[in-house]
Structure formats: C-alpha cells, structure tokens
Amino acid sequence: MSEHATLRETSATCPAVFVAAPASGQGKTTVTAALARMLRRRGKVVRVFKTGPDYLDPRVLAQASGQPVDSLDLWMAGEAYCRRRLYEAARQADLILVEGAMGLFDGEPSSADLASLFGLPMVIVMDVKGMAQTTAALVAGLAGFRDDIRIAGLIANACGSARHRELIEAALPESVPLLAAVPRDPALALPERHLGLVQAEEIRDDLEARFEAGAEALEAEGLAEALLGMAPVAFTPAPTEAAAPPAWLAGRTIAVARDAAFSFVYQANLDLLERMGATLRIFSPLTDTHLPPCDALWLPGGYPELHAAGLAENVPMRDDIQRAFAADLPILAECGGLLYCLESLTDTDEQTHAMLGLLPGHGAMRGRRGCQGMQTAGLPEGPVRGHAHHRSQASGTPEPIAHGQRQRHSAPGEAIYRARRLTATYLHLFFPDNPAAVARLFGANAVEADSIKECQG
C-alpha cells in the first residue's frame, strides 16, 4: 500500500476556518451563520462547530447550515472527543467552520488553544464602528501575540461606507488581508434577544431573512471562492476514540424532556446515549398529558421560569413523573430540571406555582446577575465535567451529597442533590466526558454495571 493511500485512510482533509474575535459582541455568530448559509446556497456541505458550553448559538447555526452543530471544548470534552468530531465532519464536509467564544485568547483553554492544536487558520471578525486605522493596530496585535496561530484575514463587521473600508484595508499589515467588509445594516445582524430568553425556533422566519441577507452581502465580497480555495487541513481520528462505548444501556428507554421549557440539550449527549444502546423518547412536560413508557428520565435545563404556569397546570404529567420517582426510576434533573423538581417556582412575574415536589425547596429568579463556570460533578457513579449558567436560586433544599469542583477555583461549586434515584443539580453535564458514569446514572443493569466497573478500573 502506498504512503499516500495510508495517509488517506488515517486522515481526512477539508478546508477549515476558525472564526474568532477580540471580544464578545463583535458579530461572530452573525458572520458564521452568513458564511454557512452562503455556501449552503451553493450546494456545499458546511459543518459548523461552536466552542465552549453553549445551547443557543448552535441551534441558530444549525438552522443556517442545515447540518447538526456540536460544541467543542478542550476542558469539558477533551482533545480526543474534539479530534474525533472534527475528523468525522471532514469526511463529509466541503468546509468546516468553528466559531470561537469571547475573545480569541480568553479562557483556559482559549479559542486560540483549540485553533493551534488542530492547525485551524483563524479569521478575525471585528466590529469596526467608530474606528478605522486603529482596526489595523488591533489586528496586528492579535496576529503577533502568539506564534503558534495563523490569522488568515479580517472580516470588518458594521463597516460604515466604501471610504471606511478603504481606510481599514490600507492600514492592515500585508500578512492579514481584508477578506470582507460587512455593511452596517440592522437587517444583517442577528437579533440580540436570541441570546437571552427567545430561542431560535421562536424567531425562525426572522432568522431566515437575516441569514439570506448576510449570505448575499458576503457573496458580493467573493468570500465563497476565498474560503473554498484555502489549503485543506488534515484531521486525524483519535485512536482512543475509535471504538464506540459498550452498549451499557441496551434495552433501556430514556424519556427526555424537550420543549420550550426544557431545551438545553447537547446533541452530543443524545448521540452518546444512543451509541450506548438506549432508546430515547422525547416528550413535553408542557403539552403532553402522560410520560412515555420508560426506564429512566432526563429533565434538562431550559426556561421553566417562563412556563411555570403551564407546567403547574399540567397535573397529569406531574402525577406521572411523581409516580416514576416513587417507583425509583433513575432521574437526572439539570438546572431548569432542578427547578421543576422543587416544591414551587416563582416566575419572572413574581407569581409562585406548584412544581413536582420531588425535592424540598423553592426556586426563584434573582435578577440579571447569575452564576456560571466550568465544574466537575463528583457523582457517586464517577466524575463528569460540565458547566453552570443560571439566574435563579434554590432555597430550602436538603443537604447536598456533593458539590461541583470548579475548574480554576477552590471554592465549592454547585450543589448536587439526591433523593431516592433522583440526581438534581444546577450543573449541565457533558455526557461524553465519562460515558461509564452516565450509563450508571441512567440505571445500567447489574451485569452492565460490573463491566463498567472493570472499564473504570
């Protein structure tokens, strides 16, 4: 077998771009979505990834690209997971886009760390409103800050005029060309509210119009040819991730809450449960009157505070979940799911509603300030990494069995509660971090549990 053939079997090549910015709020998601839609309109397969723990942006990007969008995070997911997902995408995509989080050097690990590890050229998106030549100074500083990354160019967002563009382009260093200037047009920018309490599905038509407008603006800049003509990046599979996890959940059905109240679900979590043999049954605590037949239950995060009245009024569903709890079905409740499991929840209008009552305590919103951060959940089944992000608080809760361990701080993290076989916490778990622990959490049977223990050593 030739050396070229061997390389072809052990790697997949595809043009790839890491879309980064000097800070949050520069328009990364707007530009990434427009790029994806521009190439999709040409019949290209574009696979988009979002760095960091994020549920809302990936759904916007999935609508723009017409493809599933996964999260990549070196701490939460690990290098092997990120490597495998990129390799799988490269095998079927014409272009890979990775959208960064915050500024490109922010966080540990940062967007730049991920781009460096996988050899992804970075494109800087910068809101240039109120500056011209200073844009070039900032770009030059970003490009020269580390020697292990490559800045392939600048996309100047919110550019005011042709003259504005000329001033920026003339000042840029030769090594960082101006790839495009996106006009300052409210019709192009994604509405900020999608990052708050309104989800992509609720403004689908509005997003479609903005995707199309953004795609046309970037098409006029000739950006499609520039991206597709970039030197392809070689992605290799992670050897330790080559084999699928054992079918620890074969024969088990897991009911997963998904509706307007419970929507913070990583696609990677669903994929892993199915890879371990589980059958998933999606249901709505808001609109369905009964829990589907199941062996375990997952209540993920979301916005129950916006739908507390509807959840309270759906008494048949509440009764079914209470019976499942009494029958000792394994239940995982994360963040919004935790609030649903408490005795009551005070909504955004300061109205208090009865919840499931599986766990003592009361939930309430606490204004704009919230809690967030990467943490490891020290579960009895094994540690699982994840993150917290919430603007509510739970009071009157029982003594927790453990607390999350923060990524870079010694103070105790989020409380982890257990009642019967209910596990409830504000943490959002990333299941692929520890498949064996997740299998045990959802009730792998005795034979499977023994094999899991052997795998865990």
How far is 314 from 286, CA to CA, in rounded Å? 7
E strands present in 42-186: 46-51, 70-72, 95-99, 122-127, 151-159, 178-183
Distance CA(222)–CA(70), nearest Å, equals 28
Sign of CA dihedral 297, 386, 307, 193: negative
Catalytic residue among 335, 341, 371, 455: 335
Contact 358, 305 (CB under 8 A): no
Are the beta carbons of 425 and 401 closer than 8 angstroms? no
Other CB atoms within 10 Å distance of the CB of residue 408: 9
Q: Phi-psi category of 44—alpha, beta or left, where left has phi over 0 and alpha has psi -120 to 50?
A: beta
Cβ-based neighbour number of residue 220 at 10 Å: 10
Q: Which amino acid is at 425?
A: T
Burial 388-399 (b: 16+ CB within 10 A, else e): bbbebbbeebee
Residues contacting 228, CB < 8 A, separation 6+? 15, 39, 44, 94, 95
Residue 118 has which token pair?
Answer: 């996988």
Looking at the chain, how many residues does it have? 457
435's tokens? 């498949």
Distance CA 449, CA 249 (A): 10
Show the tokens assigned to 357. 């009552």
Q: Is 335 a catalytic residue?
A: yes
Cβ atoms of 404 and 413 closer than 8 Å: yes
Which residues are marked as active site?
335
